[in-house]
C-alpha cells in the first residue's frame, strides 16, 4: 500500500504530539487545520505543520518516524507545507538539521523574529537543550503570477 499525505484530523493530534515530543519537536498548540500527516496503512509515519505568530509564519514540527526515513517523505511534507504557506514572502523554521532544509532553499538568518527566539527558548527548556542547539532559517517564497 502507498503512502498517503493528508490534512490531519482531531484524532491525529494525540499521536503527532507523542511522536513530536519523542523527537524533541515543538508540540505546542497543535491544530489539525495547519497540520499534515503521512500515513501508510492508516499508521502515522510523518507529520509537519504551519505555525503563525502574528505576521511571522513558521514551518514547524516536521518529523518522519525512524523506519520510514530516507524514503523522501520529509521532502514530500516540506514541499507541501511550502506550497501551502499563506504568506507572500518569508517562511521561517528552527532546526538542528540546517543542511537538510538548505536543500529546499532555506538560508540561515541572523535577523530572527523575537517570537521565534522565545518559542525556541520554551521548547529547548522543555527538552533540557540549550537555545544554541537551534539554527534559524528563512525561505523566500516567490508567488507565481497568474
Predicted confidence (pLDDT) per residue in 101-138, tens digit: 999 999 999 899 999 888 888 888 888 777 677 899 99
* Res 146: pLDDT: 54
What is the rounded distance in angstroms from the CA atom of residue 63 to the CA atom of residue 46? Answer: 5
Which H helix or E strand runs over 101?
helix 98-102
What is the rounded distance in angstroms from the CA atom of residue 137 to the CA atom of residue 65? Answer: 23
- Tally helices (H) and strands (E) across the chain: 4, 7
- Is 14 exposed, middle or buried, given 0-12, 13-18 or 19+ CB atoms closer than 10 A? exposed
* Res 14: pLDDT: 95
Query: Residue holding cell 538568518?
Result: 109
* Res 41: pLDDT: 93
Each residue's pLDDT tens digit, 56-111: 899 999 999 999 999 999 999 999 999 988 766 789 999 989 999 999 999 999 89
Pick the CATH number of 3-140 from 3.40.630.30, 3.30.1330.60, 3.30.70.60, 1.20.20.10: 3.40.630.30
What mean pLDDT comes out for the span 38-64?
A: 93
> Grid coordinates in use for 98?
540546517
- The SS3 assignment for 139 reads strand
Domain-wise residue ranges, the chain: 3-140
Each residue's pLDDT tens digit, 20-36: 999 989 999 999 999 99
* Res 38: pLDDT: 96
pTM for the full predicted model? 0.89
Amino acid at each position: 500500500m502507498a503512502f498517503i499525505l493528508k490534512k490531519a484530523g482531531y484524532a491525529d493530534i494525540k499521536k503527532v504530539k507523542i511522536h513530536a515530543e519523542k523527537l524533541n519537536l515543538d508540540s505546542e498548540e497543535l491544530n489539525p487545520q495547519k497540520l499534515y500527516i503521512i500515513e501508510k496503512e492508516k499508521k502515522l509515519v510523518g507529520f509537519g505543520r504551519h505555525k503563525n505568530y502574528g505576521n511571522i509564519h513558521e514551518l514547524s514540527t516536521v518529523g518522519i518516524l525512524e523506519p520510514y526515513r530516507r524514503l523522501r517523505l520529509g521532502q514530500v511534507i516540506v514541499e507541501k507545507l511550502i506550497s501551502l504557506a499563506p504568506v507572500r514572502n518569508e517562511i521561517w523554521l528552527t532546526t538542528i538539521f540546517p543542511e537538510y532544509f538548505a536543500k529546499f532553499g532555506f538560508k540561515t538568518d541572523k535577523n530572527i523574529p523575537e517570537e521565534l527566539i522565545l518559542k525556541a527558548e520554551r521548547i529547548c527548556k522543555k527538552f533540557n537543550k540549550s537555545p544554541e542547539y537551534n539554527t534559524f532559517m528563512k525561505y523566500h517564497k516567490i508567488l507565481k503570477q497568474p
